[in-house]
Amino acid sequence: MKRVFLLTIIVIAILISVSGCTQKKNNNVQSTNGKITITATIFPPYDFVRAIAGDTVNLTMLLPPASESHSFEPAPKDIITIQNSDVFIYVGGESDEWVNRILESMDTRDMTIISLMDIVEVVEEEIVEGMEEETSAENTAGKEETAYDEHVWTSPQNAVRIVQIITETLCKADTVNADLYRQNGAHYIAELHNLDTAFQAVVDNANRNTIVFGDRFPFRYFADRYGLSYFAAFPGCSTETEPSAGTVAFLIDKIKHERIPVVFHIELGNERMADTIAEETGAEKLLLHACHNISKKDFENGVTYADLMRQNVENLRKALQ
Ligand SMILES: [Zn+2]
């Protein structure tokens, strides 16, 4: 797998050097059809750029809609897309470790690169009671590397910071449209502040502060922001999807004991575990959308991060009754 990937990089490097004379970019020079080109790896930064710049830029999301973000590997065309970007935005966590290998193979002097994890305060992945730790080859080999939680965008407060940085970057990359970007950026930030206030109000008026996930838990930043405690089968980026009987029994017991009305699942998963827990406890199964990616239908309909988060406000309200 790795060897194939390396070969791909070499082939792409040759392709890029051959096409270099026609693709060459200069700072602040519009790349294609008078627009700057921006590439985001996953949905949240894609959506933020779309809100700030709309059709004024050429914008690409590398991750195809509805696909799994944690196992994404770039195709040769994706690498060319990155190479041709004026601004490239990625998360900087475990799921896109491939980015560093690709950027090292490229001439990035004319590219502005934003890593979301570099612009907000990051926390380590956390294992809470009842959660199954991943038993990957790397872990069992005793590799002691600090794993920071990559789901920084799940807190609207972090999203504000990210939108601020993206806005400033676009203003510098495309000074002609800077006023528009500032105006749109401010508008989106106001929307994110409203969401933050709405989540806080739900938590302030709630009967409980514990949420349960029959799924992975990518909401560490979100839970920290609103003082929520949580139980879940797996940490955020676990590749495991089949829990042990003990894990499921633990979550069922928690829900029954504390009479928790909702069991959450996240987007684009199989929902089997949450179904089982819902059947056993009578709890309602609801989605808390972590926004890694969205369905094809939502993508075509232009659904935004803010839309998904507004639905999360309502589902959180039910869960904390
Ligand atoms: Zn994740």
Pairing of the two strands 87-90 and 37-40: parallel
**What pLDDT, on a 0 to 100 scale, did the predictor assign at position 135?**
62
Distance 57 CA to ligand 1 centre (A): 27
Ligand 1: centre distance to CA 214 (Å): 15
Q: What is the pLDDT of residues 40-63, one digit of tens each?
A: 999 999 999 999 999 999 999 999
pLDDT digits (tens, 9 = 90+) for 126-146: 889 888 887 654 444 444 567
Give the model confidence (pLDDT) of 10-21 as tens digits. 544 444 444 443
Q: What is the pLDDT of residues 288-306, one digit of tens each?
A: 999 999 999 999 999 999 9
Taking the centre of ligand 1 as the mean of its atom positions, its distance from the CA of residue 170, in whole angstroms, is 26
270 C-alpha vs ligand 1 centroid, how far in Å? 15
| Structural tokens at position 38 | 């921006």
Gap from CA of 148 to ligand 1 centroid (Å): 12
pLDDT at residue 136 in the model: 52
Please state whether beta strands 284-287 and 210-217 pair in parallel, antiparallel, or not at all (unpaired): unpaired
Q: How far is the CA of 139 from the centre of ligand 1 (A)?
A: 18
Q: How far is the CA of 237 from the centre of ligand 1 (A)?
A: 4
Centroid of ligand 1 to alpha carbon of 150 (angstroms):
7
**Amino acid identity for residue 99 in this structure:** V
C-alpha of residue 293 to centroid of ligand 1, in Å: 10
Three-class DSSP category at 160: helix
CA of 241 to the centre of ligand 1 (A): 13
Ligand 1 centroid–CA 71 distance in Å is: 10
Token code pair at residue 64:
């195809």
pLDDT at 15 (0 to 100): 46
Q: How far is CA 293 from CA 15, 60, 65, 91, 237, in A?
A: 30, 14, 6, 13, 14
The low-confidence residues of the chain, meaning pLDDT below 70, are 1-32, 135-145
pLDDT in tens, 164-181: 999 999 999 999 999 999
Cα 250 to middle of ligand 1, angstroms: 23
SS3 234: strand
Residue closest to 23 by CA, chosen among 105, 80, 89 = 80
Q: How far apart are CA 92 and CA 198, in angstroms?
A: 29
| Cα 216 to averaged position of ligand 1 atoms, centre (Å) | 8
| 180 and 56 Cβ atoms separated by less than 8 Å | yes
